[in-house]
């Protein structure tokens, strides 16, 4: 067993886990249920979270790879930008089943932190690690574009 001190969405958490437990499972055990297991191979993006400032597939990171005192941001964060992205997804009808949406929102957040004025191609590239089997992506891209345009106004 290993003990990890984590900061998840700004909240300090002490976690005890097996070294081979996946970050996804640790988060879900701690009550952060937004990240989903889609492929279990780090390729679909449904489990995307931010670990120490970088987007990661939480199904592909094991506990022994997570540095103690790591900072993790999930879809459950009450961060203003994440909240704006969530609302834009709702306003644009950007989800059907919703399974992939937490990963898309976290990936959108990462993109907009790095580039508040992305082009359409940059949005597509920024979200390219996420797979949706329902929407066809158009409404998802529109939701992200709408938030980026609102950031220009501020």
The CATH number covering residue 50 comes to 3.10.20.30
Q: How far is CA 91 from CA 62, 94, 142, 151, in A?
A: 36, 8, 10, 16
Residues 39-67 pLDDT 10s: 999 899 999 999 999 999 999 999 999 99
Is the separation of the CB atoms in 103 and 46 below 8 Å? yes
Q: Do residues 12 and 69 share a domain?
A: yes
The CATH number assigned to the domain holding 143 equals 1.10.150.120
Residue 152 pLDDT: 72
Say how far apart CA 105 and CA 57 lie, in whole Å.
14
Q: Are residues 111 and 140 in the same domain?
A: yes
> Which residue segment(s) compose the domain that 52 sits in?
2-73
Q: Is the pLDDT of residue 113 over 70?
A: yes
Indicate the number of domains in the chain. 2
């Amino acid at each position: 067993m290993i003990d990890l001190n984590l900061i998840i969405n700004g909240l300090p958490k002490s976690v005890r886990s097996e070294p081979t437990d996946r970050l996804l499972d640790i988060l879900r055990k701690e009550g952060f249920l937004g990240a989903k297991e889609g492929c279990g191979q780090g390729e679909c993006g449904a489990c995307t979270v931010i670990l120490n400032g970088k987007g990661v597939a939480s199904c592909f990171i094991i506990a022994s790879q997570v540095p103690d005192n790591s900072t993790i941001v999930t879809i459950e964060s009450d961060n203003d930008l994440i909240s704006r992205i969530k609302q834009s997804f709702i306003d644009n009808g950007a989800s059907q089943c919703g399974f992939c949406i937490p990963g898309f929102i976290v990936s959108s957040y990462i993109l907009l932190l790095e580039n508040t004025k992305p082009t359409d191609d940059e949005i597509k590239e920024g979200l390219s690690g996420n797979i949706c089997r329902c929407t066809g992506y158009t409404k998802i891209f529109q939701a992200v574009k709408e938030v980026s345009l609102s950031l220009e106004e501020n």
